[in-house]
Structure 1
């Protein structure tokens, strides 16, 4: 019988904390996206304060003082509150991550490498994320820093979700069926593909290239405009089109993977979810272009991309646990 590392009541509590921390991390990422989409990223010119205050300046005296101290950064109260709300949620998220990580590290039965790896990974990613959050402001939204900030946040989210899944998905009754051979590498490839596509989407967002092409399937009247590969950091049309081409590859691969998983008994729901999310994401991507990127569509577009990533992670963890359970049953 396998010696499962999560069976103590302490780990059940860790699982609930991991789920809550994960949900808050999801909210923080969407708040960050909303901040970026509404051009509120530099509404507070300093960090971690906002014009020297712990809240956005809102009284007449505060606004006057902020204007005097930061003459090159006019005060926009609404946008400043948007930025500070994101910071408040992110700060709360950081505290919860530390509580979760140290509770795992100091739990009596958390001496295996997996649990220690989860805890240390959370702490390390949190430290990097805080530094990137500061640099995002001090470096004036430099695209590579903003993208790194987004990807680190997604890494934290993914690790929290993986930790929760590993706590609660390992159930022999759920994985009694045989798993098709060599399915795990195909799921792993799906993870790499969706991660790369999200990176391309982040590159589009940080360069504000979402409206570089304003029609579909054409790009400003051309089916395939000239791609300036030596200007991937500056040419907005190239950045936009690279994301479109990546979307085609991602849609085809994940669609095929979802169809295949839907034929596997213990993965039918996962496969159906992947197919549904792929169709929804393609639709949102098109609407994002033809409707000229309304904020709510862009937000849902990012949320669905994250849900796709998490669904692939779910399939990957499930496949790994099925393989592990069958291996343990053969040993016993």
Structure 2
């Protein structure tokens, strides 16, 4: 492992020029000089990255490499030497990426395996013992490929959500015990005993997107999906249409001044499957309000439920899904966390 993943990473960067910037490959002489300046031997997948890309940024994610400017080697050499001087970075560690939290992803060149690859760890100032480092991955190529894929997916998702007038604020961690998106998509079909709020628009209306947008906003703002002065909520995203299907996740979003849920958002396939054809699930930040948008043969509905965890039909459905072998393992675990949270909240 390592070289193959580095090759895929390099192709990914080159195939996405709109989201990637790279310096261009550096020479073997520059690689050798960088190793000598740092007193280390670079792992093989990292050297391939240096020779092919030099240094790069993918969807805002920076990977330090080698850039020669005015006769000086910048990038990984400058950053690593600066950390050694200012933060006591141990000499075998090579910092190749900031982690966004004040620390760095580093290559531990003292632990090179027989394939010439070094493991990747997370390092922060004051962390000097190898036993204190958090292990990130087996090699540069594997870690870089995973980070680039996630970054590009996030960038693509943010662009699609922007079409709906939604500002992407990040994915919710799967460990948070909220109603899973797959269950929220059933909000229009479970028995509620009349405890639902619905906005309906005839599906053949010529101004359907505008009517649905207006009705959805009033319903959501009035009944608690979000407060009008801070319109943030969760929306289900993922690859229900992908092959193989990707697990649905909650993404946190904020309304901008030009929301178009039923039109451009549906066309971008984040709130539907084409302009005027809505298909979405949304959840309040605290998980107490769910909104389901769905197109029927005659009517397009926005259905809102409050306190869905109190609905017996919803909990029964969640229990069946959590015990079904046809439900993906990750989804089963999310359902169990949600059901357990509801049981605990009702315990005396």
Q: Tell me if TM exceeds 0.5.
A: no
TM-score in terms of structure 2 length: 0.23
Larger Rg: 2
Structure 1 or 2: more helix by fraction: 1
RCO comparison, higher one (Cα < 8 Å, 6+): 1
